[in-house]
């Protein structure tokens, strides 16, 4: 087996050394434009993000709500292509000290070339890539290519998965297992069923020692604090995309940074234990 790249090892080390939930910040490559997106990702790190997710813009993002979908559309309309994704990752990893993971849809990877995608990600300094719409039964070529490139393959664990499916998902995972805090597209701002999330993460903990990373539905710092006791990290995307989408220039970036600071504070401030039914 190919050794893990230094970037992949750094992602593993991040979770091994942390006692509280880490903060991940997501942004599509090329949004709000190529240079502004790179500066935003760097600024997210300066203001509290512990790791980054860079999205590969996609025309039909089935897992995403209106904000991230609109950001993908804007990036594609400005000419963002896969080369910009790798350049974004390379420029961010060379100027920050946090791990970066790509988030891509399967057709984008297939169109580019599976082995080429894995190899170019590794060369750009990415720690891995999560492909949430890739059925596990079809994931063999991607898992092989990622292992050969030395990068992680985080896996999306849908809330509908039974115990047998969870074992298969966690066996295929490296880096982390992604736990949706809500069974909804990204950008969901409704209430979270914390007892159900607790039960689900308990089932996962019985199956795997991989870190659990929550996303989808973590719409406020208060919700991040509620979710934090159950997971190793929380990823936010829509709360950062929204101000950049609706307010141009420095004011939009400052709005996104206010969100990063607030979420980072919520995760790093000890909270009262969640009250759950016995």
CA-nearest of 62, 75, 3, 69 to 32 is 75
Burial 168-204 (b: 16+ CB within 10 A, else e): ebbebbbbbbbbbbbeebbbbeeebebeebbebbeeb
Those residues with Cβ within 8 angstroms of residue 226's Cβ, 6 or more apart along the chain or in another chain = 192, 194, 271, 274
Q: At what angle do helices 114-124 and 140-149 cross, to 10 degrees?
A: 30
Phi-psi region of 230 (alpha: psi -120 to 50; beta: other; left: phi over 0): alpha
Q: Which of 11, 21, 20, 28 is nearest to 240 (CA)?
A: 28
Torsion 70-106-211-84 (CA) sign: negative
Q: H/E element holding 128?
A: strand 128-130
- Catalytic residue selected from 9, 39, 64, 138: 64
Q: Which two tokens stand for residue 31?
A: 């949004």
9 a catalytic residue? no
Q: Which among 53, 67, 120, 226 is annotated as catalytic?
A: 53
Contacts (Cβ under 8 Å, ≥6 apart) of 202: none
Question: From the CB of residue 261, how many other CB atoms can be counted at a distance below 10 Å?
Answer: 15
Smallest Cα–Cα separation from 63: which of 156, 164, 196? 156
**Active centre residues (catalytic):** 53, 64
């Amino acid at each position: 087996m190919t050794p893990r790249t230094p970037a992949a090892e750094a992602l593993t080390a991040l979770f091994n050394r942390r006692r509280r939930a880490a903060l991940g910040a997501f942004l599509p490559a090329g949004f709000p434009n190529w240079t502004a997106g790179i500066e935003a990702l760097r600024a997210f790190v300066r203001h509290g993000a512990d790791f980054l997710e860079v999205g590969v813009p996609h025309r039909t993002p089935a897992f995403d709500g209106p904000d991230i979908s609109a950001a993908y559309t804007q990036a594609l309309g400005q000419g963002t292509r896969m080369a910009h994704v790798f350049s974004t990752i390379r420029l961010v990893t060379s100027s920050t000290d946090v791990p970066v993971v790509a988030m891509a849809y399967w057709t984008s990877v297939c169109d580019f070339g599976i082995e080429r995608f894995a190899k170019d990600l590794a060369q750009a300094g990415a720690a891995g890539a999560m492909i949430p719409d890739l059925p596990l039964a079809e994931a063999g070529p991607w898992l092989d290519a990622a292992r050969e490139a030395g990068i992680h393959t985080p896996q999306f664990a849908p809330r509908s998965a039974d115990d047998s499916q969870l074992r298969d998902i966690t066996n295929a995972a490296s880096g982390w297992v992604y736990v949706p805090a809500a069974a909804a597209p990204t950008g969901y701002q409704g209430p979270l069923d914390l007892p159900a999330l607790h039960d689900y993460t308990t089932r996962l903990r019985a199956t795997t020692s991989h870190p659990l990373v929550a996303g989808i539905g973590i719409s406020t710092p208060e919700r991040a604090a509620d979710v934090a006791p159950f997971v190793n990290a929380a990823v936010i995307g829509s709360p950062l995309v929204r101000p950049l989408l609706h307010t141009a220039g420095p004011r939009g970036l400052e709005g996104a940074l206010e969100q990063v600071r607030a979420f980072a504070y919520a995760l790093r401030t000890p909270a009262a234990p969640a009250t759950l039914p016995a």
